[in-house]
Structure 1
Amino acid sequence: MFKTTPLRAPPMDPIKISLVLWRMCVSSDYRLVRLRKVFDPGYYLALAGGDEREAVDPLWYYLQLTGDDLFTPDLAARGWRQLADPHPLFDTAYYLLRYFPEGLKMNPLVHYLRIGWKKGLHPGPFFDPEIYRRRSGWRNGDPLTHYSRYGAAAAISPGRGFDIDWYLDRNPTLVSVKHEIIKHYKLHGARIGKSPLPLFDPAYYLQQIVDSRGTEDLPSDPLASFLTSATLFQRPAPWFDPAYYIHDDSSLETAAEALLHYVARGVYQKKACDAKRDALTENPKISILVPVYNPDPHFLRNSIRSVLYQTYDNWELCLADDCSTRDGVREILEDWAAKDDRIKVTYLDSNSGISGATNAAATLATGDYIGFLDNDDELAPDCLYQVVENICETGAELVYTDEDLIGDDGTRLSIFRKPDFNEELLLSHNYITHFVVVSRKIFEQVGGLATEFDGAQDYDLMLKISEKADTISHIPEILYHWRASETSTSINHEQKSYAHQAGRKALDAAISRRKIQARAEDSGLNFFYRLAYCVDSGATVAVFVWIPEITAEYIHSLAELFKTTASLKVRLIAVSSLPELHSRVVSEFPEAAREIEAGRLKIVKADAGLSKAGALAQAIEECVDDYIAFVELPFQRLCENWTEMLMGAARNRDVGMVRGRITFDGTDGVSYAVPDLDDVSLSAYYRFLLDHPLHVNGMHCSQETGCCGWELVLMRREVYRASNGLDWENFPMLFAMADLALKIKGCGRKIVYIPDAGVDFSNEVQATDAPELEAEKKMFQQKWYRRLAGHDAGYNRGVLEDNGVDQAMFHLWYTGREEIVE
C-alpha cells in the first residue's frame, strides 16, 4: 500500500533554487511540467513515498519514469491499481491501460501535456475535456493546466466520473477544502469507503474483486478501478447491471459508460438499470410526500437525490415548502423540479406545520400509494423497488421497513430493527416510524394527517391506517436513513414535550375507535405509553404454584401472593408431592388456616411420581375458574395488581396468553437480543427462547411475543382447554409452558407481554443441564422445528446479521439441526 502521509518538501534554499534553474535549462520536459504547475509534489510523495533526497525535488525523479517503466505485467493482468501519480486528476494506470496497452516510451504526464490533450485523450477517469469545456469555459491550452489554475478553486466537476456537488453534499464538513476535494478523496475518502458518484457502492464492488481473486492488492480507489477496468459483469452496486443497461443501446460498450450514462441521462429518461425491474408483475406509482421547512441545503439535495436515483422509476416526488425562511431553499426546489417532471413543488402562503405541509404535498399526488420522507432523510437506492415487489407479492395496503440513524456525512450511528406488524407494540409507541408506504385510497379515507396531533401526527396516522388496512407488511431491510440532528426527537427525547402529549391523545382516540376497554397512560418515558385495562370484577382466577420444597423463601412467596391479589376473586392452588405440605404451610404461615377456610387457598397433594407439569395439569382438571394463572416460586417481589393487569389484556378474544416482566434483583438480567452461540448451556437456550423478542423490541413496551415460561403467566380457562393443556408427558418439567404457548399461537391467538406486571427473583434462574432436561430440549426442538427454523414475526433476524452472528451456526444452535429442512 502507498503511504498516505506526504513527505513535505524542505524550504527552498539557494542551492535548490540553483538546481531547479539548472534542470529547467537542461530538460525541456522538466521545464514544461514546472511551468504548467500541474505537478503536485505533496500528492506524488503521499503515493510514492520516497526518501529525503527525492523529496528535495520530486518532479525531477518522477520525470525519469517512462510509461514502459510503469506498465508492469501486474498492471496489464490485474487491471487498475494506484500508481505514484503526479496530480489527483492524472491517473497513470488509466492513461496507460486505456491508450497505451502496448507500452509508452515517454513519461505519461509529459505525453499528455505535449500530445495527448490535443488528441482529446482523458488524463484520468474523472476528467472529460468536453464536459469540462462546457462547465468551465476552457478554450486554450491543455485542460488539466486550466483546471489546476481555475477549475479547482471553483470546485467544478471536470467530468461525469466525479460529482463534486454530490460528494460535498454527502460530506458537508469538507466544503472548506472544496478546491482540493478530489485530492482529499484520493488520499483519504476512497480509503474509508466514500463514494463520489451516485449508485456506486465501493464495498460491493470490492467484494466482487475479493470473490474473483482474493484480498491481495485491492484497489485503494474502487471507483477509479471500476471506471478503468470493470467488465460488463462487474456491478457498481447490487441494483445496477451494466450488461442489462446497455443491451438496447449500441452506443454504450463498457460498464463505466453504462454507469456514467445512467447517472447523467438515463435516470431522467426513466431507464431501467436491472432486469428485476422488468420482472415486477405490477407497476404502481408511488407518490413521496416531503414537507419542507428550512432544511440544511446539503441534506435537502441528498434527500431529493435519494428519490431520483431509485432503481424503481414509477414515482413522483411531491414537495411542499412551508414558507421556508432559509436562503437557497426555494432555488434548490426550483432547480430540481426543472430537471425532472416527476418532481413537483408547491409553495405555501403561510406556515402550516408539518401536518398541513404534508397534506399540501398530498394534493400534488397522483400515485396509487403514498410514501413519507422527511426533508433531511434519505431512501436506500432500492427502497421503492423492494416496496413494490412486496406489494406485488402480498397485496399489502401498508408497508414499512427497517431504518438506521445517520450523521451529517451519512455515517451510520445506530440501527432500528422492527418486528412484523405488532398491534400491541403499536399501542405502546410508534415503532413503525419510517419508511412507510400506504394505499392512497386509505390515506384519503382517514383524512390525511390531523393537524390537532402535530408532533405525533405520524403516530396518529399509523394508528388510523392500521385499523383500515387488511394487509400490513414489513420488509426487514434497512431502506430508510433517518438523519440525526440536535433538535430531532430521534436523538433527544426531552425535545418537543408537546409531541408526547399529542401522542397520548392520538392513542386515546384510537382506543375509543377500536372499542378497547382501557385508557392511555404515560409510561414514564417520552413517546411511550401503556394501556390501563378495565377488569371484569366478577371473574375468578385460580393461581397455580408448584412447591417442590418448603423453605422460608417459599413461605414468603405464598404470603406475598395473597397481598398482591387481595382485591379480586383469586384462589391460590399450591401443588406439591410433599406429604407434609399442608401441615408445614399451616404451621409456618399463620394466615394459611384462615385462607383455606375462606376458600382462597387450596393445597393439593399430587400423585406420587408426577412431575411438576404433570402435577399442575392434574390440579387444573378440577379448576372451574374463569382464568388460570401460574407463578414461579420462590420470588423476591411481585407487583401489586398483577392479576388485574394480565386479566385486562386477556379479556380480548384474540389473546390466548398474557405474560409479565421477569427481573432479577431489579434488573432485566442478561440481554438475549443476540444469542451467544458459544454458550451451549440449557439456561442460555431457555432464556433466549422466552425473551429474545422482548430484548430487541423493548422490555418496557407491551407487545405480542412468541413464547413464555412458568414465571408469571395468565390465560382464560377455555383457551387452556382448547389447546389441550400441558403436554406433561413429553415436557415434564421445563418446557411444558413454552410448548403450551406455541400451541396457543398455532390456534391463531396472541401471546401478549405486559411489562408493568412484574415478578422479581433473587438471581437469574439457572436451569441445570440435567440429562432429563436436555432430553426435553431436544424433544421441544423436534416438535417445533419448523417454527424455530422459520420466520419469527416478533424477532427481526437482521439483528443477527448486524452483530456478525453466523446464520448457519445460529440455525444449529436454535433448532438442533445442521441441515435446513423445508
Structure 2
Amino acid sequence: MPMLQPLAHLKAVEGHDGLWASEGADPQFLVVRNGHAFACTGGWYRLRLRLVAREGAILAPCLYPDYGGGMTELERIPLGSPDADGWIDVLVRFKYAVRALRLDPTAVEAHFVATGFSLRRRHRPAAMVGMLRDIARSPRGGRRMAVRLAMATVRDLARGRVGAAGERLLRGYSALQVDGRDDYTAWCGRFAPPLSKSEAAQRCARLSARPVIAVLMPVYNPPECWLRRAIESVRTQSYPHWQLCIADDASPAPHVARVLAEVAASDPRIRVVRRAENGHISEASNSALALVDGEFVALLDHDDELHPDALLHVAEAIARHPSAGVLYSDEDKIDEQGRRYEPYFKPRFDPDLLLGQNCVSHLGVYRTELMRAVGGFRKGYEGSQDWDLALRCIERCGAANVVHLPHVLYHWRSIEGSTALAVSEKSYVVDAGRRAVADHLARTGISAEVQVLAGGHLAVRRPLPSPAPRVSLVIPTRDRVDLLRQCVDSVLRRSTYPDFEILVVDNLSVEPETLAYFESLASEPRVKVLRYPHPFNYSAINNFAVRHATGEVLCLLNNDIEVITPGWLEEMVAQALRPGIGAVGAMLYYPDDSIQHAGVLLGFSGVAGHLYAGWPRGTGGHMGRARLVQRLSAVTAACLVVRRVLWDEVGGLDEQLAVAFNDIDFCPRLDVSGHANLWTPHAELYHHESASRGKEDTPEKQARFKAEVDFMLQRWGARLADDRAYNVNLCLTSTPFALASPPRTAP
C-alpha cells in the first residue's frame, strides 16, 4: 500500500501522534511504496484520504504527478474539498506512467491529521460508471447533470469514440473537484501576498517621484464594521503618501459621524466633510473631491477594501507612465467573512470593451486636474457615475494615457444590496450606464443605438452607411458538396445584407455531385465559381479570389459555415468600416451549440488557441466578456470581414502559411499597421470545423504543421507571449482564463 512521507514544509507535532503542522502555505507529502517513490502505469485510480484540520483549514488539496518532466502546475490534479467527516474519495486519471507522486494537503498554514490514504487502479468502464455515480450524488452536480453526461457518453461509445467519451466525462467530473474560491485563495497566498514592510519600504525609496494619492470615499449609512474596514485598508497602506477624503452624505445613523470624527482626529491625512443634506453619491463624491490637494484621486466605496500595497503599485505605475491620466487595476470580491473570490483579471485598455462594461472601475485612479477639468461626477448618473466619469476623462486624456495595472488591488464587498452580488440588486445602475454610454457616443459624434444585454452589460449597434458597400464573400472548397450547399444556401436565404457577391473557389473538386452543383450555381446572379487548379494552399486560394473580387469589403468564409443570425453581415461590416478597425470576427458554434470561436488568444499552447472553445452557447465567459464586442489580437478566417484597402495594404494572407495560422499571422500584421482587430458576439454562425480538409494525421501533414509553428514563433515570438487582450495572471498552457501558476511577467 502507498504511504505518505513528509517532503517539504511539514513537521510532526510533538506529543500528538499523527498530527502535522504546515510551515507556510505549501506543505508537501511524497507518496511512497516500500520505501521508494510511488510509481504506476497511466490510467484511472480511485483515491481515498482523510484530512481533518485541528487548526487552520484544508484548502485546495491536490496531486502533482511526475511523468518524467518534473512536477508542474500544468499537471496538477485538484482533489476537491473533504466531506463533513474529512474524507476525500475521488477518481483521478494519470495521463502517462507516473514516476513520482506528490500530495499537497492544503494551501494554508494548518495543523491537520492525514490518515487512510489509498490509491487503487480502476479499469475504464468502472471508472466511467464511478464518475457518473459521483456526479449524481454531488450537490454541485446532481442527477440531471449525470443523466446529460450519461447520454453524451452513450452517443460517443455508439460511434466508437471511447477516448472522447472518457474525456468528456472527466471534464465534467473534474469541474466538480475545483472550488474556485479555494483555488483562488491558495493562488493569492502563493503568488500575490502583501509585501513585507522592508520590501515595501525599499520599493518606496526607489521611486523617483512620490505623488500624493487622494482616496475619495463618499459615505452614506454603511454598517460600522464595513466602514471601519474600508478606512483601515487606507490607513494601513504600504505607500505613505496618501490622503483619505471622506464626504458624509448626511448619514442618519449616529455611528457614522462618531467613526469619522474618531479617524479624522487620529491622522492628519484623513479629511472629512459632512454634507448638510443628502445629495446621493455623485454630489457626495464631488464634496470629497473638493477636499483633495493630491495629484491623483483613487475611488473607494464605503464598504470595500484596498489591497495593502494598492497605492504603492499605483505610484510605481505613475513613475513608469508619467503622462498617465487614468489608471485601473484588476479586482475581486470579498464576502462578509473576508474571503476573496471571483477575480476579474482585465485586459489592457480596450475602448470597445469599456462601451459594454465598466472595466475601469475598480480600482479607478484619475489625475486630479483631469477629473476637475471634466467637472467631476455628474448628478443623475448615480450607480454608474464612475463609468460616466471614466468615459469623459478618457475622451479628454486619450486612450494612450490609460494604464492598466495587472494586480488585484481592490476588493469589492459582496453583501446584500451590493452590485457586487448582482446588478439586479440596483436596477437603476443599468439605465445610468446606458445613458452614460449614449452620451459618450453623442459627444464623440457616433450615431449608434445602445442596447442592454444580460447581466446589465451593453451593446453598441452601429448602422451601415447608405448605400451599403458591396461585400465579396470568398469560400474556398474541395468537394463535400453537402457542406458547401448548406453554406451557400444559408448565406443566400438567411442574410439580409443588401449587396454581396459569393466567390466559390473550387480547389480540384472531382466528385460528380460537386461538379453538378457548380453548374447549378450558374443561374444564381450573386454567385460566381472560380477554378484554382493547384495544390491546396489556403492563403494562395484566398489571395487569388480577392484579385477577382469586386467588393469594397471582403469576407473570408469557410465552406463549412452556416448562417444563424440574418443580420450577421450588417454587424460585421458596420464594425469593419470604423476607422482604426482591422479584421472583424464572429461568434461561431459547433453544431451542438457549444462555442467553437469567440476570438483567438495568442500564445496559447505555443502559438494560438480559441477563447471559450467548448463552453455552452449563451455563456457570459470571463466576467461577461463572451457577450461583449471587444478588441482581440486575432480572429479566425473561418468567418472574417475586412476592408479591401487594408487587405491590399498588408499584402493579404502570407502564402508561406499554406494551411495553419495564416489568419493568426494576418491579424497582427493589421495591428502593426495601426488597425485593431475586433470580435463581435452579435454575428452568430455554425462552424462544422475543418470537416472537408481533415485532420493532421499523416507524417507529411504533421511536418508541415511543425514548419508553420516554427514560422510563427520566429516572426511573432515576442507578441505571442504578450497578448494585450489577456492578463498575465491567466494561464497560457491549460485552459484559457485559468489562473497562471506562477503569473507571467507584466509588460
Q: TM-score, normalised by structure 1?
A: 0.63
Q: Which has the larger radius of gyration?
A: 1
Q: CA deviation at 1:304?
A: 0.7
Matching residue of 1:490: 420
SS in 2 for 1:718: helix
Report the equivalent of 2:585: 659
1:743 and 2:673 correspond: no
Work out whether 1:389 is the aligned partner of 2:316.
Answer: yes
Q: Which of 615, 638, 647 is matched with 1:711 structurally?
A: 638
| Alignment partners' CA distance in 2, 1:526 and 1:438 | 25
> By how many angstroms is 1:526 displaced?
1.7
* 2:741 matches 1:785: no
1:353 pairs with 2:280? yes
The match for 1:753 is 679
CA distance in 1, matches of 2:289, 2:14: 53
Q: Are residues 1:511 and 2:434 paired?
A: no
Matched, 1:687 2:576: no
Residues of 2 paired with 1:666 and 1:535: CA distance?
Answer: 36
Matched with 1:797 is: 728
Contact persistence 1:585–1:592 (CA under 8 A):
no
Give the distance between the partners of 1:420 and 1:375, measured in 2 at CA.
27
CA distance in 2 between counterparts of 1:606 and 1:513 reads 50
Residue in 2 aligned with 1:109?
Answer: none
Cα RMSD (Å) of the superposition? Answer: 3.7
Aligned equivalents of 2:614, 2:445: Cα separation in 1: 30
Distance 1:672 1:631, change over 3 A: closer
Secondary structure at 1:714 match in 2: strand
- Name 2:73's counterpart in structure 1: none
1:635 positional shift:
2.8
Question: How far apart in 2 are the matches of 1:350 and 1:48?
Answer: 64
Shift of 1:548: 1.5
Identify if the C-alpha distance between structure 1 residues 444 and 321 changes in structure 2 by more than 3 Å, giving closer, same or farther.
same
Alignment of 1:592 with 2:516, yes or no, is no
1:268-667 alignment, distance < 5 Å: 274-395=201-322, 396-470=324-398, 471-578=401-508, 587-588=516-517, 592-595=521-524, 598=525, 600-665=526-591, 667=593
Indicate conservation of the 8 Å contact 1:637/1:759, yes or no: yes
Q: Structure 1 residues 290, 746: closer, same or farther in 2, change over 3 A?
A: same
Structure 1 segment 50-449 matched on structure 2, within 5 A: 188=55, 239-242=195-198, 274-395=201-322, 396-449=324-377
Which deviations, in whole Å up to 9, do the C-alpha atoms of 1:340-377 show, x marking residues without a partner?
01101111111111111111111111111111000111
Cα distance between partner residues in 2 of 1:674 and 1:606: 29
1-structure distance, mates of 2:232, 2:390:
26
Q: Is the CA contact (8 Å cut-off) linking 2:229 and 2:305 kept in structure 1?
A: yes
The structure-2 alpha-carbon separation of the partners of 1:550 and 1:519, relative to structure 1 and needing over 3 Å to count, comes to: same
Is the Cα–Cα contact under 8 Å of residues 642 and 757 in structure 1 kept in the other structure? yes
| Deviation at residue 807 of structure 1 after TM alignment | 5.5
Q: Taking every aligned residue pair, what percent have the same amino acid on both sides? A: 25
- Counterpart of 1:706 in 2: which secondary structure? coil
Q: What per-residue deviation string (whole Å, max 9, x for no partner) do you get for residues 104-137 of structure 1?
A: xxxxxxxxxxxxxxxxxxxxxxxxxxxxxxxxxx
Deviation digits for residues 660-691 of structure 1, max 9, x if unmatched?
A: 1111236343799999x9x97x9x95436999
Letter of the 1:458 counterpart: D
1:755 aligned counterpart, secondary structure: strand
Aligned-residue offset at 1:793: 1.1
Q: Which residue of 2 aligns with 1:5?
A: none
Q: How far apart are 1:613 and its partner, in Å?
A: 1.9
Secondary structure of the residue aligned to 2:731 is: helix
The aligned amino acid for 2:299 is: F
Structure with bigger strand share is: 2
Deviations 1:123-155 (A, max 9, x none): xxxxxxxxxxxxxxxxxxxxxxxxxxxxxxxxx
1:33 aligns to what? none
The 3-state SS of whatever aligns with 2:682 is strand
Contact 2:600 2:636 (8 Å CA) reproduced: no
AA matched with 2:342: S
Structure 2 equivalent of residue 17 of structure 1 = none
1:47, distance to aligned residue in structure 2 (A): 9.8
The structure where helix makes up a greater share of residues is 1
What one-letter code is carried by the residue in structure 2 that aligns with 1:775? Answer: A
Inter-partner Cα distance in structure 1 for 2:475 and 2:539? 11
CA distance 1:478–1:565, change in 2 (3 Å):
same
Q: CA deviation at 1:402?
A: 0.4
- Show structure 1 runs of 5+ residues with no match: 1-45, 51-77, 79-185, 194-213, 222-235, 245-272, 812-819
* Aligned-pair CA distance for 1:805: 4.2
Aligned-partner residue type, residue 314 of structure 1:
H
Q: Quick one: which amino acid aligns to residue 593 of structure 1?
A: A
Q: 1:690 to 1:782 in 2, by over 3 A?
A: farther
Query: What is the rounded CA distance, in whole Å, between the counterparts of 2:258 and 2:650 in structure 1?
Result: 65
Matches of 1:750 and 1:767, distance apart in 2: 31
Question: Number of paired residues?
Answer: 559
Whose RCO is larger (CA < 8 A, sep 6+)? 2
How far did 1:755 drift? 0.7
Give the Cα–Cα distance (whole angstroms) in 2 for the partners of residues 294 and 340 of structure 1.
22
